Amino acid sequence: MGRRAPGQVSDAAAGVGDAEQAARRLTGLARRRQGLARALPLLGMAAVVALVLAGCGGAQPYSTLSPKTSKADDIQNLYRIIFWAATVVFIGVQAAIVYIILRFRRRNEDRPEQIHGNRRLELAWTIIPAVVLLVIFIPTAQVIYNHASAEENADFSVDVYGKQWWWEIQYPNIPGSKEGPDEHLTTANEIHIPQGADVVFNMRSNNVIHSFWVPQLSGKKDIIPGHDNKLQFKADTPGEYFGECAEFCGAAHAWMRFRVIVEPKPVFDAWVAAWHQPPPVPDANPTTADVNDTPPAFGVCLVCHRVSGTNAQIAQQGINANVESIGAGPNLTMFGCRHTIGAGILENTPENLKTWLEHTDQVKEGVYMPNYYKAGQIKDQQVAELVDYLGKLKPAGGCPPEQPFGGGTPVAGS
Ligand code: CUA
């Protein structure tokens, strides 16, 4: 607004009175002050939000700001460096803007001196960002290399298969049942690990790219078809940690959730021992637990789901399972002890299980599990039998003790 095209006649030369000119100058100044007064509270608010975010992160259970492993700590420290560097840059830039607005405000109608280039400034804005980037780069590279070597040295293996849209979890060094030691303990969406174990997750997918993320325990790691990725961490604080898929992988991506349950070694061992107890099947020899003794309606489930300790072993598992999860669903062993249904979408209660069986595709849009109830292949009576049977898929003595959320003394599960 203060610009005049070259050659344009100045107001003074056109004969405008001195008083009028001074008045106009004052109004312009007042307007600029007003603009500044409006901007200042906004700057203040931004600074407060930044400080609150930096300071209160520890209270958020599902947040990257409350790390619970040394690995997540390393990442948090990098974040702190970047956060405070960005804060200094932000405050510096805002202060410079305020200074320039005040120092170089228009005081008269004269054209300011026209300059081109400034070697000192150009050097400054090349060197300062280079130093800032170096300060971020060196510790970042160190952390990347340290974490990569930790992946090679970890000794407790867990295989993670990204499915659409759930997680298959295998323990390659723990047999799935007493009878079939060649089969690995295989579960879904709830990953039990012993406290303090140096765990390496071997991650595989044969469908699309997923990303394994437990914010409090580690950074994200992509699960890429045709390429095994590893992720390591050692969790020393018992508790239940929230995880999710962090790479868009199709319709139900947002409902590809999981939990990592970190428990003291004896509690973990009790969980494995419970796994090796065949489920109590009504009217059947508990050592054989023949699925012929399960409700007949369970026959349609067997095509996709296995139950360790029984002869329900038709469904595919692991990397060779069907790409789109058709014919390969979660292993249902100890289903009665699981916390959620449908990869975190419903709490595991008989009412919710009924809802899941009757309205599968409405509860979880895009799900590959067919709705046999809607198709008329199972009726209310069969749904009730299935809910009853699945709820009983737990050891005869009840679920193993478990670590409550946030750590503390183990409590007996129901
Ligand atoms: Cu799997 Cu997103």
The pLDDT of residue 219 is above 70: yes
Q: Is 257 in the pocket of ligand 1 (CB under 6 A)?
A: no
Report the alpha-carbon distance of residue 183 to residue 200 in Å, rounded.
20
Q: Report whether residue 62 contacts ligand 1, using a CB cutoff of 6 Å.
A: no
Give the amino acid at 60.
Q
Confidence of residue 20 (pLDDT cuts 50, 70, 90): low
Kindly give the distance from the C-alpha atom of residue 251 to the centroid of ligand 1, in angstroms, as a whole number: 9
Helix, strand, coil in percent for the chain, rounding step 5: 40, 20, 40
DSSP line for 170-211: EEEEEESSSS-TTSEEEEESEEEEETT-EEEEEEEESSS-EE
pLDDT class for 413, splitting at 50, 70, 90? very low
From the CA of 209, give the closest atom in ligand 1.
1
Helix/strand/coil for 166: strand
User: Which tokens in the block code for residue 90?
Assistant: 């932000």
- Decide whether any atom of ligand 1 lies within 6 Å of the 343 Cβ: no
Residues counted in the chain: 414
pLDDT of the residue at 384: 92
Q: Is the CB of 208 under 6 A from ligand 1?
A: no
254 alpha carbon – ligand 1 mean position (Å) = 7
Distance 364 CA to ligand 1 centre (A): 14
**Which atom of ligand 1 is found nearest the CA of 165?**
1
Distance 9 CA to ligand 1 centre (A): 66
Region of 291 (left: φ > 0; alpha: ψ -120 to 50; beta: rest) is alpha
Task: Write the pLDDT tens digit of every residue in 287-333.
Answer: 444 555 678 888 888 889 988 877 788 888 888 888 777 778 999 98
Domains of the chain: 14-104 (no CATH), 156-391 (2.60.40.420)
| Residue of minimum CA distance from atom 1 in ligand 1 | 210
For residues 179 and 190, the answer to whether their CB atoms sit within 8 Å is no
210 lines ligand 1 (CB under 6 A): yes
Q: Could you report the per-residue pLDDT of 65-91, keeping only the tens digit for each?
A: 889 999 999 999 999 999 999 999 999
Round to the nearest angstrom and report the end-to-end CA distance of the chain. 74
Neighbours of 316 (CB within 10 A): 16
Atom number of ligand 1 nearest to Cα 254: 2
Query: Across-strand partners of 212?
Result: 221, 245
Distance 165 CA to ligand 1 centre (A): 7
Q: Strand, helix or coil at 212?
A: strand
Kindly state if the Cβ of 253 falls inside 6 Å of ligand 1: yes
CA of 322 to the centre of ligand 1 (A): 17
Which position has the higher pLDDT, 407 or 359?
359
- Take residue 222 and report the two structure tokens written for it: 């992509």
